[in-house]
Structure 1
């Protein structure tokens, strides 16, 4: 009969011989190479968040309709200093994400050879994606120094506004209901009705 001590020593010896599992952290270059090789499903869009590849949450009808309306509204105001990108990649450090809407510096022609590496404002429209937008994307955007992040929260009919990035979060967090107005930091004279951010009317 094998003693408990001998069993424990045998288990520890086997564990010592087993190589430690290593986590593969993908870089944007590896991420793109996987796509070029056809190893990612062509029917699915993916995001690279700090080394991990995530399939994007399927977009519901209201999400899609509101995203289109918001894009039109944001594009009504034109500037030579910034422009609106709709569901286009951002390269944030070693991550490559596809926010619903991002206002980035410069003109579209500035990004013919690379994706933008920052944004003045990122807007995510959230319903089923709310946990990811809060738990995964918010810390990423804060660490990347994105100065302002809005979550258009369709479940609770409000807009969550995050400002002043610091470490893994934002120092300023406010919630705006449908009757309020809101202005982005980069254009404080541009007053938007929160109701219009929540509805397609």
Structure 2
């Protein structure tokens, strides 16, 4: 092979489809302890949960379970088969239907997605936000543990959110899918 030919050949990463990823998961290809998710064709290692993250997830789940979502329910840390190249595992998702609706396949949409972020803050704000916006998730919240605030992302257009608000612990918000439910930011912060 000549030097000119060598310079034009460059390696590239394999882009996984959700179907390929799910087949590997089904046969145990990653091992039982692997914490992974598929995002834009990349298989990504998820950060280990620190105590504050776990506490915030429990608090948020409890607050949301007290809300009344019409024909929807709260899922924690479970896959969301959002498109052909992404299957994130949000910390909290409110999905249409009931648990039995997903006995054969993961939900493909959500009414509300919440990520709890400390070390993953940039990843959740950028990469995950693009995937969620691109797939029409109208209500995406990031519980920012670093700054002790709740970031509300709404009005998705293409791969971005047109409206982002930051709420401090003294403020409240209602999910779009449950406007009568009032969530105090202080209630879900550890």
Task: Mark yes or no: TM-score above 0.5.
Answer: yes
Cα displacement (A) at 1:114: 1.0
Gaps of 5+ in 1: 1-9
What's the counterpart of residue 137 of structure 2? 146
What's the counterpart of residue 29 of structure 1? 19
Q: 1:43-192 alignment to 2 at 5 Å?
A: 43-79=33-69, 81-94=71-84, 95-192=86-183
Q: Is the 8 A contact 2:92 2:115 kept in 1?
A: yes
Cα displacement (A) at 1:15: 3.2
* CA separation of 1:80 and 1:14: change in aligned 2, threshold 3 A: closer
CA distance in 1, matches of 2:159, 2:150: 20
Greater relative contact order (Cα 8 A, min sep 6): structure 1 or 2?
2
Q: Is the 8 A contact 1:80 1:107 kept in 2?
A: no
* Structure 1 consecutive aligned stretches of length 4 or more whose deviation exceeds 6 Å: none
CA distance in 1, matches of 2:157, 2:39: 19
Q: Is the 8 A contact 2:69 2:177 kept in 1?
A: no
User: Does 2:10 align with 1:11?
Assistant: no
User: Does 2:183 align with 1:196?
Assistant: no
SS at match of 2:30: coil
Deviates more, 1:78-87 or 1:61-70: 78-87
What's the counterpart of residue 7 of structure 1? none
1:74-109 Cα shifts (integer Å, max 9, x gaps): 112344511000111100112111000000111111
Q: Is the 8 A contact 2:81 2:108 kept in 1?
A: yes
Larger Rg belongs to: 1
Deviates more, 1:71-80 or 1:140-149: 71-80
Scaled by the length of structure 2, what TM-score is found? 0.92
CA distance in 2, matches of 1:90, 1:13: 43
1:23-53 Cα shifts (integer Å, max 9, x gaps): 3111122112223444314322110001110
* CA separation of 1:127 and 1:14: change in aligned 2, threshold 3 A: closer
Give the number of aligned pairs: 188
